[in-house]
Amino acid sequence: MYRLRYRQLGGPTFQTSPEYSFRTQRARGEAFTFLVEADEHLYDKKGIPAMYKITLDNMKKDSADFMLSLGDTFGDDHTPETTTSQDMDDLHRDYLQYLGDICHSVPFFFCLGNHEGEMGYYLKQNAPNNIAVWGTIWRKYYYPNPFPNGFYTGNMTREPNGIDYPENYYAFEWGDALFVVLDVYRDCDVNEKPQNWDWTLGETQYRFLKNALESSNAKYKFVFAHHTRGQGRGGVVTAKGAEWGGYSNKGTYEFDKFRPGWGLPIHQLMVNTGVNIFFQGHDHLYAKEELDGLVYQETPMPSDSTYEIGVLANADAYTDVTMRGTGHLRVKVSDAGVVVDFVRAYMPKDTVGGANTNGSVGYSYTVKQRPVSVDDETTKSETVIAPNPARESLNILAPTTSSVDVTISNVLGQIVLRSSATSIDVSTLPHGLYDVLATIDGAPTRQTIMIGGRQ
């Protein structure tokens, strides 16, 4: 429990807030609930504040440990040439009146959408005077996201222009679940309207995702992004193409051509590592699909008073369950499985006569733990590089070690350490992701390792 004591600047007396509470990390095996919303859009005519408040009231009743927003929350990138830093400040500050009503006890995690303007292309335009720099700074000021430390992993790149860690992608474990939140925009710097293979996580973020998924033995794994490839419409249809699925628009597999050395497309990586659900927004409706045992879950708007903006515009881009309606996703995680509920929200005028019930469940399903596939490269080598994460030392375990050559490189590809030992002191390396290449008797084994030495 906690309460806040505060006073106005220069004021004579302190005031006291009500008592609130929040949860710390759940232990393995402990059940919990989290919430997902997306595409609030209060900065344009799609989002209605009164409708959003009803959804937030419903969310407060769920006794959740935390909530995630999947973007298109703060906006607004429609006028990048004329939008100012003050405009971006106003847009971000406006949400305090809404989120402050729930986030005193339900922590808020954010995932960037396309309308936040934090795209690689905009970052390069007249820096630091552009919407991407201003958007990042004001987002971090009002709604700080996780950054790499002893609990969270995330983007280790420190950006210029007052940004420092951009806090745009991150991962953590909670109870029996791994959470990985991605940014599908920051590395898209070709132009303001990327297409197909222009859309990218960037290799550093891809390696981060790969390491987070492969190094976790959590029973359930969830991945979040605003959309599979930044834009387009649909879930599993878009998941088959370009960086996400590896195929061209003509059905030719081209992942190795466009992403040499990466290994697997994002979808196949998630399938192989046992991801249960990929959550996305962007399309403004409730939709659920499944591909190769992986659920693709589209999140409804929480602020659409017509209840059908997304279903009218985008339902035909989906291949399975689609539903009209406004509200949020309630996800209950327990040893028995993961239950995902679509909790509907209605304006009071639309519940007259009992036609609709605010807070009712429009659709529900359960997923179980998924199997993890062993990567082909792993089966070819008996060498193991451990532990992962590593803090003090890194060990090379192999059946025979008459000849050992270990090279450790940072995310920029720079070699930071070489060794011929099977136990290597890594305590002096800065905290972050590293590529470790161990050549044992001429046979190479490569692995991405999180090293958590001095920060």
The architecture in CATH of the region 380-451 reads Sandwich (2.60)
Q: What is the mean pLDDT of residues 99-107?
A: 96
431, pLDDT greater than 60: yes
Which of 8-12, 31-35, 153-157, 420-424 has the weakest average pLDDT?
8-12
pLDDT band of 443, cuts 50, 70, 90: confident
In the chain, list all ranges with CATH 3.60.21.70. 23-367
The crossing angle, in degrees rounded to 10, of helices 85-94 and 131-142 is 30
Instruction: Answer for the pair 168, 145: CB distance below 8 angstroms, yes or no.
Output: yes
Which DSSP symbol is given to 27? P
Mean pLDDT, all residues of the chain: 92
Predicted TM-score (pTM) of the model is 0.84
More confident residue, 352 or 411: 352
Identify the pLDDT of residue 240: 92
Identify the pLDDT of residue 411: 67
Q: How far apart are CA 223 and CA 204, in angstroms?
A: 17
The string of pLDDT tens digits covering residues 263-304 is: 999 999 999 999 999 999 999 999 999 999 999 999 999 999
Q: What is the mean pLDDT of residues 219-229?
A: 96
CATH 1.10.287.3240 for domain 23-367: no
Q: What is the mean pLDDT of residues 234-263?
A: 93
Strand partners, 222: 179, 277
- Look up tokens 């490269």; give the residue: 377
Q: What is the mean pLDDT of residues 250-257?
A: 92
Q: How far is CA 24 from the centre of its chain?
A: 20
Give me the half-sphere count of Cα atoms (radius 13 Å) on the Cβ side of residue 18: 6
CA-based nearest residue to 226, from 73, 49, 64: 73
pLDDT band of 76, cuts 50, 70, 90: confident
Which of 66-70, 200-204, 400-404 has the weakest average pLDDT?
400-404
In the chain, list all ranges with CATH 2.60.40.3080. 380-451
Sequence letter at residue 244: W
The string of pLDDT tens digits covering residues 352-400 is: 988 899 999 999 999 999 988 755 443 345 678 888 888 889 998 877 6
Instruction: Answer for the pair 389, 171: CB distance below 8 angstroms, yes or no.
Output: no
The string of pLDDT tens digits covering residues 152-211 is: 999 999 999 999 999 999 999 999 999 999 999 999 999 988 999 999 999 999 999 999
